[in-house]
Homo-oligomer: A and B are copies of this chain.
Amino acid sequence: MPDSRSAARPATTAVRYGSRPTMKDVAARAGVGLKTVSRVVNGEPGVTADTESRVRAAIEALGFRRNDSARILRKGRTASIGLVLEDLADPFYSPLSRAVEEVARANGSLLFAGSSAEVPEREEELALALCARRVDGLVIVPASDDHRYLEPEIAAGIATVFVDRPASRIEADAVLTDNAGGARTAVAHLIAHGHRRIGFIGDRPHIHTADERVRGYREAMAAHGLAVREEWVSMGGTAPERVRAELERMASGPEAITALFSGNNRVTVTAVRVLSEHDRPIALVGFDDFELADLLRPGVTVIAQDPARLGRTAAELLFRRLDGDTAPPQRVELPGRLIPRGSGELPALQH
């Protein structure tokens, strides 16, 4: 049923298909002023019960819903935060996203989420698009190695917290796992089980987590007086073919490794696959836990991060900043935890 009063109003407020009623329409229908509608909608005091019920009836009748775009423009705060991560579909980041979302929700914010696909330009594009939307804050898993592009945004008041990897070339909050420490623990564990020739396959160099983990690996080897042969160390993508080729190379020849420390989730999965086809058992410790790791035979020993906690911690820090915490940028490091399940406890089989 078309609104019979629309003819009396200027053409611009006529009810068109696809256009929604505004507070003005509600006010006209209820026979009150615009501001009174605003008061009712926002639960502000100073409206009599009688007026309020008339307004509510009009809201109901017209199917009015406040336009938050306009509200945002007026109020300045958008009640939304942005999350930029590497890949929404990566099982490691799923709990992280969810944790960030929960904290946002608890703080009355909505979440914009996007994937950088590990492409620096895409991270920048996404982050700046979110800034243009005037999100209140950003949680970023960096893909870029230069975050100076964010300086004007941060100066303008967009709170920014980096997670999983630190920001580059700017000072900013970061919530990280102690990657080097976790790697040292992993390698020490293998050494304790008698291994001396331990390989490492990790993600591409210059990715902070990858660099830290290889650093921890080298430190642990050095701390135990073991030499690292460069053919035991491979940094590159996590593509299965690459990992397979590298592992097969390391596991053959007279100086074959007896144990592998795999630098992340996806490398570990491929390594498990390759090793399951291999005749001579090779011990394995992986960085990052994954579902069903305990069901494989042998179970896969891992250094577990807590991605949900990473996300929660980062988001909570973000909202503290939004609440006015102006302490200098801080770096929070969460520990990794060794979970022995069998694959890391295989003895060092000489040949």
Contact = CB atoms under 8 A, between A and B. Distances in A.
Interface string A60-87: 0001011111101100001010000001
Interface string A11-54: 00000011110000000000000000000000000000000000
A114 B105 CA distance: 9
A90 interface: yes
B114 A67 contact: no
A134 to B, nearest CB: 5
Interface string A266-293: 0001001100100000000000001110
A77 to B, nearest CB: 10
A339 interface: no
A95 interface: yes
Contacts of A254: none
Kindly name the residue among A72, A87, A88, A269 whose own CB sees the greatest number of chain B CB atoms within 10 A: A88
A133 interface: yes
A185 interface: no
B115 A133 contact: no
Interface stretch (A124-132, A214-222, A343-351): A124-132
Contacts of A7: none
Nearest to A113: B113
Given A18-B157, A114-B101, A296-B292, A132 B91 contact: no
Nearest to A20: B156
Given A134-B68, A134-B69, A63 B156 contact: yes
A127 to B, nearest CB: 11
A297 B295 CA distance: 9
Q: Assign chain A's interface to a size class.
A: 35 or more
B98 A94 contact: no
Contacts of A94: 88-91, 94
Interface string A94-107: 11011001100100
A37 to B, nearest CB: 15
Interface string A140-164: 0000000000001101110000000
A129 B115 contact: no
Given A101-B114, A110-B112, A152-B63, A133 B69 contact: yes
Contacts of A292: 269, 272, 290-292, 296
Contacts of A88: 94, 97-98, 101, 113
Contacts of A78: 69
A111 interface: yes
A115 to B, nearest CB: 6
Nearest to A273: B295
What 9 pairs across the A-B complex have the smallest Cβ distances?
Answer: A63-B152, A89-B98, A18-B157, A113-B113, A68-B132, A88-B98, A89-B94, A89-B95, A20-B156
7 contacts: A18-B157, A69-B72, A69-B134, A91-B91, A94-B94, A110-B133, A269-B292
